[in-house]
Structure 1
Amino acid sequence: MKKQQLFYFLLVSLFIISCSKDEITHENEQSKEPTKQTVTAKNLKPIGSGVMMQAFYWDVPAGGTWWNVVKGKVADWSNAGIDAIWLPPASKAQNGPFSMGYDPFDYFDFGEYNQMGSIETRFGSTTELQSLINTAHTNNLSVIADIVLNHNSGGDSEYNPFKGTNTYTNYQPMSGMFNRTYYDFHPNDYHSNDEGVFGGFADLCHHKSYVQNWLWNNSNSVAKYYKNVVGFDGWRFDYVKGFAPWVVKDWKNAVGGFSVGEYWDGNAATLEWWANQAEVSAFDFACYYRMRDAFQGNNLNRLNDDMLWKRNASKAVTFVTNHDTDEIVNNKILAYAYILTHEGYPTIFYRDYEDWLNKERMNNLIWIHNNLASGNTSILYTDTDEYVARRNGYNGPGLVVYINNSNNWQERWVETNWSNTRIKDYTGHSNWEPVTQGGRWVKIQAPPKSYSVWSVK
């Protein structure tokens, strides 16, 4: 019995020594500090006061030019009413000069180390990224970093005792920051899995204190380096279904900044649950799918359905298209008229704004959002082809939006916020300037396959 106890004691001791060696290596690594200058104070528009621009699309041109392309547009975007730009994952990924960044390898290489087949990322160099961020800040815009925390890619093969075979979990990035081994991925000595894996990539274990320290706790963690050194102001968290909400909550509590998660689910109650658990905003996929049904499916009654912005507008980031999904093809401008007149924080997709839709009409809707769209929402009328809603105003007059998906001009009597008041259509689609009745009712109109937005003249 004593021999058996001694044998087990030796086995446990060897395991502890092995773990201790791993921790010693990690601690030595954590002593490294960033060498770049930290960012200075910024005078930024409050996020949510305007509109967010998703400043990329899938497969933007390779060749290291994208940061400069965006840099050349931020002044015009700011003048149009944009308050923040969302950038793609900025650090070096496994596919190097061809990667869109969602297969992260070295979180601290923004285009300065010769690894993964290139020095620059697909988007450009470290210097170009920081020049873009500085230019955005000069134009009072916040910069949102796309953060991929669920999975990593590009590690070397090593024997993994938790799988009994080799796995690609040996990460020795040239930045010398956040080296990783099989201890830091699933399965490991803590547990076998978490909420989800993605695409067969190495799945980070966020319960490991070493991983937490490198991602958000340490003074030179990914979160603090991105904020204090590179200059990012907020966070878009990729594939948050793959890990527990507390991960995003802890990150946000460690560094602050606007935070929104990509919880890809069309159920508004589920989105509300996740946003409350993480204590951050969520992309309103419920709104997206109801708009798809309404505008692509030609049934505006679907806009009556449940959405995150209707449950908690302060947590809802609305969108019509993003780099992953673009299902609202017909009548897309009507969908933008919807999100830019309703509650929630609206996002505009780069290609919709720069390439595909009428920029003058988009700028008009941004102006309407920033200047007229205040207060809670009352839906006044819906049928298959027509939708009318009122924003009831908060420190401002509010508005009435009339969306018409039919092939003919439509007119409708509606109850406004205003009594005996002349109103006008701020889109310019109608030249009517009616006066509301004493009981606040008035007849308004909207052109075919279009919209009008009415407020006090």
Structure 2
Amino acid sequence: MGSGNNGFEDNNLQNDSGALVRSGREILFQAFNWESHKNDWWKSLEGKVPDMAKSGFTSAWLPPATHSFSPEGYLPQNIYSVNSSYGSEHLLKALLQKMKHHKVRAMADIVINHRVGTTQGHGGVYNRYDGIPVSWDERAVTSCTGGLGNRSTGDNFNGVPNIDHSQDFVRKDITAWLCWLRHNVGFQDFRFDFGRGYSAKYVKEYIEGAKPLFSVGEYWDSCNYNGHALDYNQDSHRQRIVNWIDGTGQLSTAFDFTTKGVLQEAVKGQFWRLRDRQGKPPGLMGWWPSRAVTFLDNHDTGSTQAHWPFPSNHIMEGYAYILTHPGIPTVFYDHFYDWGSSIHDQIVKLIDIRKRQDIHSRSSIRILEAQSNLYSAVIGEKVCMKIGEGSWCPSGKEWTLATSGNKYAVWQK
């Protein structure tokens, strides 16, 4: 078992590299969806910064800001150009400036597993990067995706050249670019795209080199299923995420895909799923909450891609769960700004309770009920919550109702 499961909690809030300056009180906001590139995005977000700050978000994850072969930004080409389909360098810097003024950290989307070549090289493949800063030859591309580098240290991202991080010159150039994003462009936090694509030890090196204030990795693989039914036991799934975090030297957090997978089945009337065999939450959050970044949907799972969407009529039960629980919660743009002011205001209320009662990534949790139609828990001994159709309220006069909505309620002391 990895570090997450042996009851070990870290105290290295500020290690020597300065890479960890986390309080465990972060509340993240994913500030885009799959269609955002169509909408003059940097400008549009700039107008929302005061509301993001007032709502309590500490960090906003922005879409990939670099020049890309695809408008969404996930097929980078000239990485030193931050003129993208989301807007010009000038507009990006204005947005980052405004975020800094409002004390919302800017999180860069770091896409370094794959990169589209500019020139055909070995084998007639676009596996050379000529005529742009960071010009690499075919050695920078893994041999399994048409280059002359070594075999990949992870899973292939098909259809485009995958970068060989085992090459010293590649790592040197990537580290220099990450430092440039931090110090010249103004990003403070990093989100590592497609963490399955290359060894986590390279993420460790990049974090140590560029020293982001906060990092989160996307290590997304399938939950455990039996046919179409989700297994109750997801231990091996969360163990794989734990292993990835361990591989980063524990410097990065990771998105809690296990919690998402279990929670979106649980809200359909299977709340018994929300307590594992040890009586803990069943996701990464139950094993290693200080490294678990919880979320309901993102630009891949939700939005117009909808690869694995959270059931839309249960969104508020989902937020009532992640915004009251340990871990580091993330709110998705669509839910917050596109689903109406009632959802926006209910989410803000939950964030407010979290902050007021000082619930953080390491808060204690006691699960009281986990039945088919009801889940309830006490968090940090200061907040009590229930979700589901079952009626329930805490015993004891010290609890007062803080907020409630369709199939959820939260009490505080």
TM-score, length of structure 2 as denominator length: 0.82
Greater share of strand: 1
SS in 1 for 2:392: strand
Name the residue aligned to 1:91: 66
Q: CA deviation at 1:234?
A: 1.1
Q: Which has the higher contact order (CA 8 A, sep 6+)?
A: 2
Deviations 1:275-319 (A, max 9, x none): 111121000000000111111x32111111321111011100000
Aligned length: 356
| Residues 135 and 413 of structure 1: CA distance in aligned 2, closer, same or farther (over 3 Å) | closer
1:80 equivalent to 2:55? Answer yes
Tell me how far apart the structure 2 counterparts of residues 312 and 277 of structure 1 sit (CA, whole Å).
14
Name the residue aligned to 1:452: 409
Tell me how far apart the structure 2 counterparts of residues 342 and 301 of structure 1 sit (CA, whole Å).
17
Deviations 1:70-111 (A, max 9, x none): 11111111111110000011100113xxx1100000110011
1:341 equivalent to 2:311? Answer no
Tell me how far apart the structure 2 counterparts of residues 193 and 292 of structure 1 sit (CA, whole Å).
33
Name the residue aligned to 1:172: 130
1:49 equivalent to 2:25? Answer yes
Name the residue aligned to 1:251: 206
Contact 1:148 1:237 in 2 (8 A): yes
| Residues 244 and 50 of structure 1: CA distance in aligned 2, closer, same or farther (over 3 Å) | closer
Name the residue aligned to 1:301: 272
Q: CA deviation at 1:155?
A: 2.2
| Residues 232 and 61 of structure 1: CA distance in aligned 2, closer, same or farther (over 3 Å) | closer
Structure 1 window deviating more from structure 2 (133-142 vs 192-201): it is: 192-201
Tell me how far apart the structure 1 counterparts of residues 31 and 24 of structure 2 sit (CA, whole Å).
17
Name the residue aligned to 2:219: 263
Tell me how far apart the structure 2 counterparts of residues 172 and 71 of structure 1 sit (CA, whole Å).
34
1:205 to 164, 170, 177: 164
Name the residue aligned to 2:227: none
Contact 1:380 1:388 in 2 (8 A): yes
| Residues 205 and 101 of structure 1: CA distance in aligned 2, closer, same or farther (over 3 Å) | same
Q: CA deviation at 1:133?
A: 0.6
Tell me how far apart the structure 1 counterparts of residues 23 and 179 of structure 2 sit (CA, whole Å).
20
Name the residue aligned to 1:27: none
Name the residue aligned to 1:363: 348
1:405 equivalent to 2:368? Answer no
**Structure 1: runs of 5 or more not aligned:** 1-44, 112-120, 430-446
Tell me how far apart the structure 1 counterparts of residues 127 and 388 of structure 2 sit (CA, whole Å).
54
Name the residue aligned to 1:66: 41
Name the residue aligned to 1:388: 376
Q: CA deviation at 1:61?
A: 4.5
1:325 to 293, 301, 304: 301
Name the residue aligned to 1:151: 114
Contact 1:282 1:316 in 2 (8 A): yes
Contact 1:47 1:83 in 2 (8 A): no
Name the residue aligned to 2:289: 313
Tell me how far apart the structure 2 counterparts of residues 309 and 46 of structure 1 sit (CA, whole Å).
16
Tell me how far apart the structure 1 counterparts of residues 154 and 46 of structure 2 sit (CA, whole Å).
37
Q: CA deviation at 1:272?
A: 1.1
Name the residue aligned to 1:222: 177
Contact 1:48 1:83 in 2 (8 A): no
Structure 1 window deviating more from structure 2 (83-92 vs 368-377): it is: 368-377
Name the residue aligned to 2:5: none
Question: Based on CA coordinates, which of the two structures has the bigger radius of gyration?
Answer: 1
Deviations 1:147-195 (A, max 9, x none): 011101142212x1xxxx211012125xx42001111111255523331
SS in 2 for 1:93: coil
1:194 equivalent to 2:153? Answer yes
Contact 1:147 1:238 in 2 (8 A): yes
Amino acid of the structure 2 residue aligned with 1:293:
E
Q: CA deviation at 1:412?
A: 4.5
**Structure 2: runs of 5 or more not aligned:** 1-20, 224-236, 277-281, 303-308
Task: State the identity %.
Answer: 28
Name the residue aligned to 2:12: none
Contact 1:145 1:232 in 2 (8 A): yes
TM-score, length of structure 1 as denominator length: 0.75
Q: CA deviation at 1:378?
A: 0.6
Contact 2:152 2:198 in 1 (8 A): no
How well do the aligned residues superpose, as a CA RMSD in angstroms?
A: 1.8
Tell me how far apart the structure 2 counterparts of residues 211 and 47 of structure 1 sit (CA, whole Å).
32
Tell me how far apart the structure 1 counterparts of residues 188 and 367 of structure 2 sit (CA, whole Å).
35
Tell me how far apart the structure 1 counterparts of residues 22 and 58 of structure 2 sit (CA, whole Å).
7
1:108 to 59, 76, 80: 80
